[in-house]
Chain A
Amino acid sequence: MTAYLKIDHLSKTFTRGSQETEVLSDITLTIDQGEYVSIIGHSGCGKSTLLNIVAGLTPATLGCVLLEDREVNDPGPDRAVVFQNHSLLPWLTVYDNVRLAVDKVFAAKSRKERHEWIMHKLELVQMAHAKDKRPNEISGGMKQRVGLARALAMEPKVLLLDEPFGALDALTRAHLQDSVMAIHQKLGNTVLMITHDVDEAVLLSDRIVMMTNGPAARIGEVLDVPLPRPRKRLELATSATYLKCRQRVLEFLYERHRFVEAA
């Protein structure tokens, strides 16, 4: 079986004037359908760049990204992104934000079908009650939920999450993580998530990709998380497998690849 999503010998070099900086070096990673993969690394290691390349927002310098054996060169709704800072359009209501995506991706469907689709996605993220609110009238966690609904509404082949919980407080974050887990369980999406939170990575992922420090970041280690699903946050706290996985990631990040403050 060929891989669903394949990142093949990917390198990225940023050129500013005559100065070249290699950000990513020879990244190869395959992701199966329905798999939840997290990429973890210290800030500045180029993990967001990697996600942007998969999304098609940034071109790769060398290598390529293959989705179902087809090369990815430009952004598209088959790789929907949930951005770190929600990126909802402030002049549109929650409903209209999702609708913008649905109208574009499912232009062929009838008005009624599209409406039901939008409402279904909003219910999935428990935001149907706020459909007529504008983004500045709802909390940060709710905005991120709407961002998720918008991405899910595109029915993407791969869902890309760019530190989706980074800007939220711990309680909201935990709540949202549970939602994402439940949705992943229900829909079986293929997910690629960027994070810098070890617990989040272990809790949510099937596999954790650990990146070395930049410049020229590589994949340092890939860890399988053999925890059965559905996972329960409280039970995991005492699970030996969970603690072992957590330990492995922490060792990688804080012993072997300690973050060196550049600036």
Chain B
Amino acid sequence: MVDSENFAIADLFSLAGKTALVTGGSSGIGLNLAKGLLINGVRVVIASRKQEKCDEALQELAPLGEVSAFAADVTKPEDRAALLEFCGAKLGSLSILINNAGSNWAAQLQDYPDEGFDKVVSTNLNAVFSLTRDAIPLLELAATEEDPARIINIGSMDGLQVPIVQRVPTFAYSASKAALHHLTRTLAVDLGPKHITVNAVAPGFFASRMTDFVFDKYLSDIEDECPLHRIGRPEELVGIVTYLASRAGSYTNGTVIPVDGGTSVSKGKRDWME
């Protein structure tokens, strides 16, 4: 097993020839992950609810590699079925499934509506479970003991700890992401024997449509609470996903990896900046 060919740079982190589905792939983190995968030789399908968003993203992605887009609402069973059929036709099999589509609802507790809670949990948790379950046959087609298929769930730092300052309370979001982290572990145990790994990435603050309004008001507070004193850069999520999807990450299973500049291990707003 230990020989120079196996240890080549291109080999350990290589994604060349793999296939991937990225949900929520038309903007923010999902769009950046799709770019990273394409640049590194992965054939990609992105999914997003709105056709025009898909078309816009496709314009940006098409020069980077072999990519197609499918408009689907992953909370709808018929859309999920159509999406997976599309992936089967376009890609043949699925070596990487990135469950990135998510939604959020922010309101104070007394004003937080049931429908807001349901909407967030059904996108961030229920849809991930259903899509993953239904994608198993396509993933199995790509899975081998040597090179397992990979499921990567995009969780959140908010699913690991509750911010000391609840700037914008997001009860459903935090709960759904904590549940997604544990779903990741449960699926990892179940799917390991099928040569499919399941891991989650828990991003801290990265620029996306979801965070713009928070940054407008709270960027300096957010930086103060982060040991690295900044928000994340897009390539820092491409990095962890590349690791998890490549041979380098092929024994990493059932983990939740925070990529948050250390915010979640810090005790809160720091006094050492003075």
A binds B: no
Which residues of B approach A to under 8 Å, CB–CB?
none
Which residues of A approach B to under 8 Å, CB–CB?
none
